A and B are shown apart, each in its own frame.
Chain A
Amino acid sequence: MDTAVHLDGITKRFPGVVANDDVDLAVERGTVHALLGENGAGKTTLMNVLYGLYEPTSGRVLVDGAERRFDSPRDAIDAGIGMIHQHFMLVDPMTVTENITLGNEPTKWGGLAVDRAAARDAVVDLSERYGFDVDPDARIEDVSVGEQQRVEILKALYRGADVLILDEPTAVLTPQEVEELFEVLEELTAQGKTIIFITHKLGEAMRAADEITVLRDGRNVGTVEADGTNREDLAELMVGREVLLDVDRPPAETGDVVAAASNLAVEDDRGVRVVDDVSFDVREGEVFGIAGVDGNGQSELIEALTGLTSPEAGRIEFLGEDITGSSRRQRIESGMAYIPQDRQERGLVMNFDLVENALLGSQHSPELGPNGRIDWPATRDHAESIIEEYDVRPPNPDSTSESLSGGNQQKFIVGREFSREPELVVAAHPTRGVDVGSIEFIHERLLELRKEGVAIVLISSKLEEVQGLSDRLAVMYEGEFIDVVDPAGTTEEELGLLMAGERPDEDAPDQAGQSAAHTESTDAPNGGEHA
């Protein structure tokens, strides 16, 4: 066996954070290598080093045995490395062929015109060779997410990639599409391609990979054969010190119902019903978690709750009043804080500095925007206090939010939302992309708010997070609550099955839809049960 890619002692530091700490990684040619770890473990950073997006602080990158220095992805592509990002880089109104050949189109008439026929032939050849099911003439906006992903893979192959890096490829896929993807990966490795596959899902790593390397806190904590390991061992490697379970979480002292949704239904832009007949309530001093594979309606549910989409049917109550028809601004003013999942689209205005961003949502508040006039000095003080308390780096209120790293953007949003003195916090992936130290800090603040009697709705793709913080945990699958469980008394495997859509048939009384029946005060001292 020969080594296609060898990362030797890679260290990558960002100001204040060591993202990768002396990581070694050797990937054999013609295999699928999974890079497993929690969010923020440094998986993507490591691959960005390999792909030429980051320059390592120290360490060597060897491709086919030769040391290489990549100044840009261009260099990496030339060396036969392709990367498929989590968010696809495709031009929606253009066809599959155009997207694949974009930038490297075959030309005719001495380079004056694109040779469309040759481009199409090349794409057809390529997809036949690897047994891909794509329509070369379809527009990207018309094809499924799974097909878009195959187009991304073809794009990399078209540019001569021998090593393909896939960043969380399954996050956006349906279970069937995941299966199709794994078949594609098998076909690619059978033909000598090498795959590096970033994931935080144990099952997928076990299912698809030949070898698995686990990263934790930026360090390689072990490389194992997929056949010679089991989920328990992997989970232990991955989580290590049980960060979340160390949090001192006293039993919930729940009070009155703060927010309640009944028979809520939400449709997406295309009129597909993505939330269907969901009911739940959340009380003072309680964390209500919602788990599920991304794209099962969680985002739409919380957008309806926070007033960013209007539901097709159902009713939302907040502090005893029907707010189904009230505006986003009314909800903010009545004490609803929201940590959105798209921090760069919703949570922050990228071109604004942090002072201006500290105002977002409070521009009409009596503190910062009295009588329609903005109190900029007070806003600046507010921004500075968020920066200080939440350790936002660089600690400069005049820097634009665009110039901050994702983790620091997140800390700023969390700080801003928590400082609203809310009655209800809706938190979507509150620690996504945040370093380990700050994750604990954010969790502690969340639990402090809970102790103060704030109601919290939490969604997270990190199972450990929702499991560790929630007092009650709903599992969402294809727009419905498939079950509401006591997270302390449920194993990760059981949750995984629920998230995959397997209904809890023997647990008749605890069925979905019954969620309004509040689970008994969850006084189980959580500890046990993890993996």
Chain B
Amino acid sequence: MRVPDRIQTVLERLVGASATERILISTAALVLSILVGAVLVLVAGRMTTCTASEAVYYFGTGFCYDPVVVFDRLFLGALGDPFSGGWSPDGQFSVTLRETTLLLFTGLSVALAFRAGIFNIGTQGQMVVGGMATALLVLWASSLVSGVVGTFLLVPFGVLVGAVFGGLYGAIPGLLKAYADANEVITTIMLNFIATGITLYLVSGAFKDPNSAANQTVPLPDYAQFPTVLFGGRQDFSLVALAFGVVAVGALYYLLEHTAFGYDVRTSGIQPDAAEYGGVDAARTIVASLTLSGALGGVAGAMYVMMILGSFQSGVPSYGFDGITVSILAGNNPLGVGFAALLFGVLKSGTTVVQFATDVPPQLVGVLRGLIILFVAMPEFFRLVGKRVTDTGSKVVATDGGTPGGEADE
């Protein structure tokens, strides 16, 4: 009885938190993560050696790394230093938005599957397949059109190709789960390896660019890549792609909340028996939501190829896996994915700034990033601690039951 009782009270407390409380707690979590991170930076700075002139001094003690500089670079650096003058849209801010764009799509991909009660770890593989297909088919199509017309035709075409191939690749675990009862966690992980392996084989053999040492396809012509608008092209960021991502956030939100399909998906995810009762075809919903999830992953691959690399290359960064964290951080809510992707984008882009600006080892910056995500993802924990501190155990005494006749326990 004790365990369910406790879970009950935990839930009641969680439910009890108001919106303001939640915002306050999330902010507190961020601040706390920075404080803990600062201590780590100081300790690490104490354990390395540097010249006296390089060191900073706090409380009369010298440290090799300065936490203030580290966090300043991590956040303000990622935003391109908006307060120090000379802010340019084509600077680090573009990098942040570029990362955000890709994480939007992978985050939405994971979130959609999650809402249907499916853990899609395969977004990475779907992205790889979508990216590869985009590179090859756009390359083929780019010989047919060119110039501005080419951009107008090829970019949507490439996104569509990414969506279709990513979607098909997502449909495989969907079909396996719906009709063969195969666990999607295992199938999607395996399909990630298969995607990586097959694309490496293709890109190092049949479709390899003969003029390059790397395992990559022939680069796409410029007119077959995302156009740069407002932001310069130095950082491989396109506002068009970001706008597309924002539209995707809104569209997915609408799909989930305002369509019958979304209702089917949410019902199956939360209570499959009730969904079945309500006439939802479980198998079809699984296949459809994993296909759509895969399509979103595939679009991320298309963006990666047509916005960032300009070709497909083996060794795609782990945007798909980061999408899992983004989605969980967002509570699998499409609108939340927007904010979570931005936070993630800032952290990813800020990391490189920190590495340029300080001697702090990249591993330590990784730890700081991890701390921030961990703390922000656990607001529940902090909310509980906060509550427990406020009402100090009136209930604690009563649980020992006492002996017959001893009713004086309240």
Contact = CB atoms under 8 A, between A and B. Distances in A.
A350 interface: yes
Contacts of B27: none
Given A363-B260, A372-B261, A68 B281 contact: no
Interface string B398-410: 1111101101001
A345 interface: yes
A28 interface: no
A73 interface: yes
A360 B281 contact: no
A329 B277 CA distance: 9
A348 B5 CA distance: 24
B359 interface: no
Contact of A345 (B258, B267, B271, B405): B271
B259 to A, nearest CB: 5
Nearest to B410: A69
B264 A74 contact: no
Contacts of B404: 63-64, 66, 68, 79
A374 B256 CA distance: 10
- Is the interface on chain B under 10, 10 to 19, 20 to 34, or 35 or more residues? 20 to 34
A349 to B, nearest CB: 5
A359 B273 CA distance: 15
A360 B1 contact: no
Nearest to A362: B278
Interface string A55-88: 0000000011011110111110111000000000
Contact of B407 (A69, A350, A361, A372): A69
A63 B281 CA distance: 53
B126 to A, nearest CB: 25
B276 A328 contact: yes
A103 B273 contact: no
B274 A345 contact: yes
A363 B1 contact: no
B323 to A, nearest CB: 24
Contacts of B206: none
A491 to B, nearest CB: 36
Nearest to B2: A103
Given A346-B276, A350-B271, A360-B267, A74 B2 contact: yes
Contact of B270 (A66, A78, A327, A351): A351
Contacts of B273: 342, 345-346
A369 interface: yes
B311 to A, nearest CB: 39
A384 B400 CA distance: 46
A103 B5 CA distance: 12
Interface in A86-139: 103
A103 B1 contact: yes
Given A66-B405, A68-B407, A342-B273, A360 B278 contact: yes
Contacts of A477: none
A192 to B, nearest CB: 17
B401 A360 contact: no
B317 interface: no
Nearest to B402: A78
Given A360-B278, A363-B260, 4 more contacts: A71-B395, A78-B402, A352-B267, A374-B258
Interface of B: 1-3, 5, 258-264, 267, 270-271, 273-281, 395, 398-402, 404-405, 407, 410
15 contacts: A67-B407, A71-B395, A72-B399, A328-B279, A328-B281, A338-B277, A342-B273, A349-B270, A350-B271, A351-B270, A363-B279, A369-B263, A372-B259, A373-B259, A373-B260
Closest 9 A/B residue pairs (Cβ): A78-B401, A329-B279, A346-B277, A360-B278, A369-B260, A363-B260, A361-B278, A345-B273, A73-B1
